[in-house]
Structure 1
């Protein structure tokens, strides 16, 4: 029983890894159950057994936790640069997993857009609301910050612009950090 459960967990994990890779590379529309099964070296019916549908597979494969810190614990003058640096590091850690899949799929899939909006509205916005002077401005300020960060992510991971896709993150942080800072606090 334990061996069968372990094999089942291993199979499910292989399917998820294959799905994350393919959703990240090809997006939601172009990824098929058959392609995921081939990537995982299993029969397509096994994908359906574990996830029931392409939508169920995407829901399981495309998750992203930005692991946001408490911004109130850092000097206010550093928050913008820190946010850019933090997201760059998280994206690089998760580039072949959930984030890239959601980012690519959000351009054509309503479920992916909802997932991305939830990260912004339910995780980022409350943290920003706690550190700005006028809490009622949190939705707009959060969306402005998100526009900068997601624009960077799109250019880095989807368009793969060479100066934004490289390993040296310092110039990106130094140039984009003050813009994020301005959106947060009206100061650079």
Structure 2
């Protein structure tokens, strides 16, 4: 039993160190040695659990957005609910900010962010937009608003974006996200 717990703790330490290192150094400059040092373990343990840097990055960037159950939300409130959810996640989850940093500096990181949003925002758009065939485009528009604000507020730390309250951000972005999801045409 103790081995399982130690193994889980080691994996968690590696993933936390990897997320931080990939965020601060980018994919290319982050090294297995640096990640192992940050996790307080031997580099061979990183290789034992993850095999190589690419597999470690894939594991470290496995992020569940955790969208709320939108089935009970009236369609006219989806924009506000989604923006509120994402703001709450970004305020309390450094992993999302780390992933965004890597996503803007690295091709593999960008692909990971694309996949996360396509897999998790795409179905929302498909379920509510007037033409389900248009769902990918609408999901991309929603993502542009969410990721754009996250980049401005949490990565670039633009003072006006940082100074806005979550309520102000929701009031500004909610209607835009709503329009992207449910409007017949622009």
TM > 0.5 fold call: yes
Report the Cα distance in structure 2 between the residues aligned to 1:105 and 1:179, rounded to whole angstroms: 26
Q: Can you give the 5+ residue segments of structure 1 that lack an aligned partner in the other structure? A: none
Q: What's the TM-score, normalizing by structure 2?
A: 0.88
Partner residue, 1:4: 3
Partner residue, 2:38: 39
Q: Can you give the 5+ residue segments of structure 2 that lack an aligned partner in the other structure? A: none
Partner residue, 1:106: 103
Say if 1:19 and 1:36, in contact at 8 Å, map to a contact too: yes
- 1:1-188 maps to which residues of 2 (within 5 A)? 2-95=1-94, 97=95, 99-166=96-163, 168-186=165-183
Structure 1 residue runs of 4 or more that deviate by more than 4 Å after TM superposition:
none
Report the Cα distance in structure 1 between the residues aligned to 2:36 and 2:178, rounded to whole angstroms: 45
Report the Cα distance in structure 1 between the residues aligned to 2:132 and 2:71, rounded to whole angstroms: 14
The aligned length equals 184
Q: CA RMSD in A?
A: 2.0
Q: Which one is further off, 80-89 or 129-138?
A: 129-138
Offset of 1:85 from its aligned partner?
0.8
Say if 1:15 and 1:47, in contact at 8 Å, map to a contact too: yes
Post-superposition CA distance 1:96-132 (Å, at most 9, x none): x2x2232112223332222222222222112211112
Post-superposition CA distance 1:16-48 (Å, at most 9, x none): 111122223333223221211111112222222
